[in-house]
A and B are shown apart, each in its own frame.
Chain A
Amino acid sequence: MNIFTKNFKALKQIVLYEPPKDPPPFVLAEAERSNDTPAPVTSSLAQYEALLRYAHRLADTIEKSLTALKQPYQADKIAALKLEIAALEKQQDKLSPVLETYSLSQSPANQEISTSMEENKLTLEKLYNLPDNQDLIIRRLTIPAQPPVDAALVFIDGISDKNTINLAILQPLMLLGKRDKSLFQKAGLEELLAEYLPGNQVKLVHTFGDITSAINMGDTAILFDGLSQAALIETKGQEHRGPDRPTLEQSVRGSQSAFTETLRVNTGLVRTLLRTSDLTTEMLTVGTRSNTLCAVMYLKSIINPELVVEAKRRLQGITTDAVTQAGMLQLLMMDQPILPYPQALSTERPDRVAAALAEGRLAILVDGSPFAIVAPISFFTLLHVAEDFSLPWVAGSFARILRLLGTLINVLLPAMYLAISYFHQEALPTDLILAIGAAREKVPFPAFVEIASMEFAFELLREGGIRIPGLLGSTIGIVGAIILGQAAVAANIVSPITVVIIAVTGLASFAIPDYSLSFAIRLTRFVFELLAAMLGLIGVSGGIITIIVLLCSMKSLGVPYMAPLAPKTRYGYDAILRGPNAAQELRPDELSPQDIRRQPTVSLRWTKQASGKKKGDKS
């Protein structure tokens, strides 16, 4: 092959291009557009009525046959019965398609447990998509009773404790020894459970629905051949992380433990702080597919019972397929989900939850989420932190005022700068406006573009700082901010005053302790900036009025959001300022707790008692 042929072939390949003959790549086919309405009822009411009539007739015939069989032989009656049975058979033939449709339309989860082991196995295979699904383990064994019984252990690998299954179920059942009693006798199964199974929670169930909900939680079910009952034994044992230090709500003087992903660990953490029989934990399930366990915790003698009823009503009224996070549940059950302001407190600290419960609030813990939802709350609760109460009241109040000022600066500072530099230049001292003017002299953009671009850069840095893994994140955030600010000023893209304003605003935003509130405040700030750039201080004041109206109209689980200020309620020295711990005698009035008094007027009784030491006694 000479050089000409080579070139000719190459040229031919380019000119006469043919796609490679590989199999076509996978492309997800677009689903047929179906109306998002529930499937129409296939069986009509008339068909069900026919089935019902048939059932009544069958019951009648069985009764008649029983009476006829008990009585001495009467040929005419038997013949009549024969005819009737033949007629019934005919009717059954006619109705069998309807019967089939009915049984098919029933979910296997609602199905009763069959006496046939094979039947049960088939149902389980259908329910758990076996053998494709490898999570479900069905362990067959024979119980050495009299007569021996085939049994099957059903559990899910990974969320159940293998040691418990081996030692507390398999070992006792298989090494029963010679049991001369029959399991099929009356109360035979109960005896087996009582005598041989050392599990701490054991119960008998009759439907597959009960079995699936138990084994989805990590329990083990035992099915017996010939019995229409199953035994459920508590063998929960999924891997989980222990309580760790709080990451978002760190404190210097507060407790150093945070919630984990395991619900029972979390409820236990709360109970260690409130060791009272009054603390009630109600369990509910949310999510039709995820079946997520939720715990509603409250102090029964303090909380207003209507709050519990309402919270449970909302939780039970949620129909969604999966709830995987506490934050998701919070949005699903809050009063105004459309507004960005958080209407419940999301906390990872058990001590905060305990304090809230003691005030007459309730907490909702979600399995798999290390955050508790505390409701109802007021706007001011979101500006509190756990260690406020560990500090002297003056210091605690100072910190709260600082946070409130930080919130105001965060909302208003860039907006005020824009409004004043655009419309109200007379409102600044002459030297300051001249300095601002001089700083902006070389910048080619309007002040609004400057602020908007810096805001955008800051938001990018913030988002990036969260996404960049580990220690690198904060470093890149800080370094990025400094370099970006410096470079932007040096390149005359923004003026130093804008960098100062955005930096102060950013700093102030970190003073807001609640993450969701911080987000909401940032969104509000952008709206205020727009209003200020378009309408000046009138726009800003209009925005402030709108926000106040909005906040005052909001509710958190039915409790006014701006209480105790609007509406004015009895002040318990724990909203904007914090009174001394001993002076906080009342629980929040807006929660209408059953017991409003937290402590007596003189809570420090030791101050009124003699010290037991005589005057002048130096020993």
Chain B
Amino acid sequence: MLFAFKIAIPVILLFICTGCYGAKETDSVAYVIAHGVDKAPGGKLTITTQIAPPAGPGKSEQENIGVIDTITIPSSGQNRTLISSTLSRTLNSTHLTAIIISEEAARAGIAPILAFFSRNREFRDSIYFIVVPGSAADYIQKNTSRLNLTISRLYENYLTKKNYSLPSTLHTFYTSFKNNGSSPYITYSAVNPRTGEDKSAGYKTPQQKSTPYIAGGIPRAGTKTAIEFLGLAVFKDDKMVGVLNSEETRAVSLLRGEFSWGYLGVVDPLAPQKDFISLKVYTYNKPKITAYFNNKAPVFTVKLKLELEVLGITSGTSYEKPEYRRLLETQVADLLKEQILSMLKHTQALGTDPVGFGLYLRPQLDTTAELSKADLTELYQQADIQIDVTAKMRRTGLIWQTTPKRNG
């Protein structure tokens, strides 16, 4: 019996000492879904906190938004204390889905914000970062969900797409921010004024049918959802230096190997004035990037293989036939090569490396001393980059061969 006690007491003590404490009932907790960060005068920050509606998703959009509080304070940490005093419930950030940063705050540098979120256990590494032009508070107010029930699911669904926008989480931002060899980037989103005004942004290649846009510039009107995700905010260190348009964002996605498939419209090579071809583009494999020094000047070669599926040919030309197929494949390869080169030129000028070319250069530096001395982003800026895109038509859709219309 004494032996049993001797065993039992340490075991019980162990449980008591190591057990979990701080139990919270679900009805005494307020779940923060989104944080908005705006720059305020006097070096302060305006933090907007969106709290999930405690009674679950309601029927109206206003009920779905939940509670939104905006407080202007000198530091992010103080926000918690102040907002707690306005709420009856305990703030819980374990389900924080997105941090929305205004472009102004991003351009000023987000290292102070990052320092707060990256150290605290309560914030998950998978929190999405979003940069918006204008006010983050305004963005949160206007972001109402129509098709989705909860705001958190809305962000999650938007940010799984890797085509005209690329998701950026606390983890990916932090690792590329701290690492030498790649530059961080954040998804770019904006509230569309919905006036139908076409604000195309950037260079359009001759093979391209569509126009590049950045968020907020799509000519749309009448739709209810105001926000759109398009483009990429690129950073040099912790400061935002520019925005890539939709086509450039896709180029980054292709080179990072994150692009899986997407739609593409190209000008018909045989009737460039009026006809165009719609295609579905798949990546055959991840791009092969090699790097070497040519007399201290870095050279990158990129080999990108794509597969195509025809969705529609307005001219009716039989691009399925071997003699025409080559034409179409070259047209697509040229288009994407042009877009990639355009993106590279743009980012080299901005001094940011969202693809992470610098990482491929690291094995070429023989010692750690050389590596720590080298500014890989600067080397990227000076680099000669050779792009080789090949596209193969694998499927022709449901039509194997187009026949001309019969007369009589």
Interface on A for B, CB 8 Å cutoff?
419, 421-426, 430-431, 433-441, 443, 446-447, 533-539, 542
Contact = CB atoms under 8 A, between A and B. Distances in A.
9 contacts: A425-B24, A430-B95, A430-B153, A434-B56, A434-B95, A437-B26, A438-B56, A438-B57, A533-B23
Given A447-B25, A535-B19, A542-B15, A438 B152 contact: no
B55 interface: yes
Contacts, number: 89
B29 interface: yes
A534 B20 CA distance: 8
Nearest to B121: A426
B8 to A, nearest CB: 11
B29 A431 contact: no
A538 B24 contact: no
Given A433-B95, A535-B15, A446 B25 contact: yes
B344 interface: no
Contacts of A425: 24, 26, 29, 92, 94-95
Nearest to A545: B11
Interface string B109-130: 0000000000000101000000
A536 B26 contact: no
| A-B residue pairs, 9 tightest by C-beta | A438-B56, A536-B20, A535-B19, A426-B94, A422-B23, A437-B26, A430-B152, A423-B20, A430-B95
A146 to B, nearest CB: 74
Given A430-B150, A437-B29, A441-B27, A423 B15 contact: no
Contacts of B24: 422-423, 425
B20 A431 contact: no
B37 interface: no
Interface in B39-56: 52-56
B26 A433 contact: yes
Given A425-B29, A431-B150, A447-B26, A537 B20 contact: yes
Contact of B95 (A426, A435, A441): A426
Given A419-B20, A422-B25, 10 more contacts: A423-B24, A426-B95, A430-B31, A430-B33, A434-B31, A434-B57, A437-B27, A441-B27, A441-B55, A447-B25
A534 B149 CA distance: 34
Contact of A437 (B54, B94, B122, B156): B54
Contacts of A436: 26
B162 to A, nearest CB: 21
A538 B19 contact: yes
Nearest to B94: A426
B37 to A, nearest CB: 20
Contacts of A535: 15-16, 19-20
Nearest to A531: B15
A438 B57 CA distance: 8
B29 to A, nearest CB: 7
A488 B26 CA distance: 19
A534 B19 contact: yes
A543 to B, nearest CB: 9
B97 interface: yes
B22 interface: yes
A276 to B, nearest CB: 47
B343 to A, nearest CB: 34
B18 interface: yes
A431 B152 CA distance: 7
B21 to A, nearest CB: 8
Interface in B143-158: 149-150, 152-153, 156
Interface in B241-296: none
A500 B65 CA distance: 28
Given A431-B153, A434-B52, A434-B152, A539 B20 contact: yes
A430 B55 contact: no
A536 B22 CA distance: 10
B171 to A, nearest CB: 15
A434 B18 contact: no
A437 B32 CA distance: 13
Contacts of B57: 434, 438
Interface in B66-120: 92, 94-95, 97
A412 to B, nearest CB: 16
B31 to A, nearest CB: 6
A116 B52 CA distance: 99
B11 to A, nearest CB: 8
A293 B371 CA distance: 89
A538 B31 contact: no
Q: Which of B15, B24, B54, B57 has the most CB of A within 10 A?
A: B15
